[in-house]
Amino acid sequence: MAIKMEVVKRDFPLRAPFSITGHTFYTQHVVWVYLRDGENEGRGEASGVYYLGDTQDTMVDQLRGIESAVESGASRADIQKLLPPGGARNALDCAMWDLECKREGVRIWELLGLSPEPLTTVATIGIGTDAEMAARAREYAEFSKLKVKLDADAPLAKLRAIREARPDADIVIDVNQGWSREILIDALPELVDLQIAMVEQPLPRGEDDDLVGVDSPIPLGADESLLHLGEYAEIAPLYDVINIKLDKCGGLTEGLEMAKQAVSDGKQVMVGNMTGTSLSMAPSYVVGQYCQFVDIDGPILLERDIEHGLQYQPGGVVAPPPAELWG
């Protein structure tokens, strides 16, 4: 059955400016892919990877460059070769999974032989003043798990304020490449005292070898340093936790391969997101079935999510996505 592909840019304002090391975001600019066969429609969303130069325009150009191949019947396996890892392939790959589910009249769980379990997501706190970050931690009182963005500007003071505001919370921190080896080593004793569960991406991408010899009592996670399977063999041995983002690796197909590889290697696994609507979080929910750390809170950062969005329940528990949304 012939397929038609449509690529659309969509913009979703954030509820408030969101800051991480080196960047502040105000609006999430995404790309949607629609695949239609006359009877069924599959959808996928991508935010892209801003630090690799992904933009709406570059993703649209990549997708339109293979439009004829897709409409001529290119498969999921084909697009792994036609497009590099990144946002464009992610949106298309996820749309293909969704279309297959619609054509077969089954949920994604049946296609993959999984029994979905509810996931508990973190709520993410962007960088601000001590008082601002503590206030946001209190606003997220219904979330049992928090992810705290930090840079090198008085990070421990900010963490102390958050811990005082939320003594009950499980907390992971995400430095987004903002520390040096020395800052990490100096911070570790207090991070232990503050009961931090994981430190994500402490060092800049490319400086991962500086972790050799660091005896961390807290698991260290790779995000920007490990984008896709092609980087796994070199980088994974340096980390305890592998953060899989579908925008980085180029879709659910490779994301599942990465998750299974990490589990096989005895690594802990995290599923993350580049912010986006529930259409982006839904396929990430599938990867989340393999994960100890779950970060699919993108929609709560937006002014408004899309119809049939994920439901965030007390504690941060998220039920499986409905069929009307995706998969």
- Token representation of residue 97: 């999974």
Residue 189: burial class (beta carbons within 10 Å; 0-12, 13-18, 19+): exposed
Distance CA 133, CA 128 (A): 6
DSSP character string of 254-265: HHHHHHHHHHHT
Residue found under tokens 């290119």: 74
Cα–Cα distances in Å, from 313 out to 38, 233, 246, 320? 36, 37, 24, 12
- 147 part of the active site: no
Instruction: For residue 61, count other CB atoms closer than 10 A to its CB.
Output: 12
- Chain-centre distance for alpha carbon 242: 11
Q: Which residues, including other chains, have CB under 8 Å from residue 109's CB and lie 6 or more apart?
A: 115, 116, 320
Does residue 149 carry a catalytic annotation? Answer: yes
Measured in degrees and rounded to the nearest 5, phi and psi for residue 123 equal -110, 130
| Selected catalytic residue, list 149, 158, 248, 267 | 149
What are the CA-CA distances from residue 162 to residues 19, 137, 141, 167, 221 (Å)? 16, 6, 12, 8, 21
Which of 102, 158, 245, 267 is flagged as catalytic?
245
Hey, what amino acid is at 158?
A: K
Separation of alpha carbons 178 and 50, rounded Å: 16
The span from the CA of 248 to the CA of 272, in Å, is 10
- Cα 244 to the center of its chain, rounded Å: 6
> Rounded to 5 degrees, what angle do the CA atoms 316, 317, 319 make?
140
Q: Could you give the residue numbers annotated as active site?
A: 149, 245
